[in-house]
Structure 1
Amino acid sequence: MLTTLKRHAHTLKREAYTLYIALRDPRVPWYTKVLLALVVAHTFSPIDLIPDFIPVLGYLDDLILTPLGIWLALKLIPPEVIHAARQQATTLDEQGKPVSRIGAMMVIGIWLIGLIGLLWWWFS
């Protein structure tokens, strides 16, 4: 069972790299690129949208949101782009994980908006 989980995790990692590469391909429609940008930023962000120390919800983005976003994005990419991107993803996988500073800023922005909204609600 542990071997199966490791294999699925590695496949998910490779698919995230595939999205990262496909994002820069001109054959991908703009609306798909928007979704790809969000999924890639969230996946490679050094900061979790929902911190892991929050019981149950902390792992929601890691176990459900990330794989679901990757799956949906892969369905929207043209097959020829996926094939080429998967070949490049294998090389990128060996080099190491890219870090998304934009993803980190996106997560921090969401938390700040939530905090401001909460403070506004509290003091209104």
Structure 2
Amino acid sequence: MIEKIKNNILKLKKEILALFLAYKRKETPLYAKIIIGIVVGYALSPIDLIPDFIPILGYLDDFLILPLGITLAIKLVPDYILEECRLEAENMSNSILPKNKKAGFIILMFWLMLIGYIVFKVIYD
């Protein structure tokens, strides 16, 4: 069971790398690049949309949202581009993927605005 989970995680990492490579190709359609940018940006973000310390919901993004986003992005990329990028990803290491600080900043701003809104409502209502 644990070996199966490890294999699935490794496969997800390779898919993220392949999507990252597909994003950089000019033949990839714009609509696919937008979805890939969101998915890969979120996957590489140092901050989660739902923090992991929140019981059950904290891991929802890791086990549900991210795989669904990867699946959608894969469906939008033409098959020949994705196959070429998967072959290229097999020969590369995961160290090519940078941490996405922009996505982390956007998620951090979302949480700060949400906290600010809650504090505003508590104080002024």
TM-score, structure 1 length as denominator? 0.90
Q: 2: CA distance between counterparts of 1:92 and 1:106?
A: 29
Figure out how many residues of one structure are paired with residues of the other and give that number: 124
The letter of the residue matching 2:121 is: W
Alignment check: 8 A CA contact 1:14 1:93 kept: no
1:108–1:121: structure 2 CA closer, same or farther, 3 Å change rule?
same
Give the 4+ runs in structure 1 shifted more than 6 A.
none
Q: CA deviation at 1:93?
A: 3.0
Superposed counterparts of 1:1-124, under 5 Å: 1-95=1-95, 97-122=97-122, 123-124=124-125
Q: 2: CA distance between counterparts of 1:70 and 1:92?
A: 19
Q: 1: CA distance between counterparts of 2:50 and 2:112?
A: 13
The letter of the residue matching 1:58 is: G
Q: CA deviation at 1:94?
A: 5.0
Alignment check: 8 A CA contact 2:18 2:82 kept: yes
Alignment check: 8 A CA contact 2:22 2:82 kept: yes
Q: 2: CA distance between counterparts of 1:112 and 1:92?
A: 37
Identity %: 35
Question: What is the DSSP-based 3-state SS (H/G/I as helix, E as strand, rest coil) of the residue aligned with 1:23?
Answer: helix
Question: What is the DSSP-based 3-state SS (H/G/I as helix, E as strand, rest coil) of the residue aligned with 1:92?
Answer: coil
The letter of the residue matching 2:69 is: G
1:44–1:75: structure 2 CA closer, same or farther, 3 Å change rule?
same
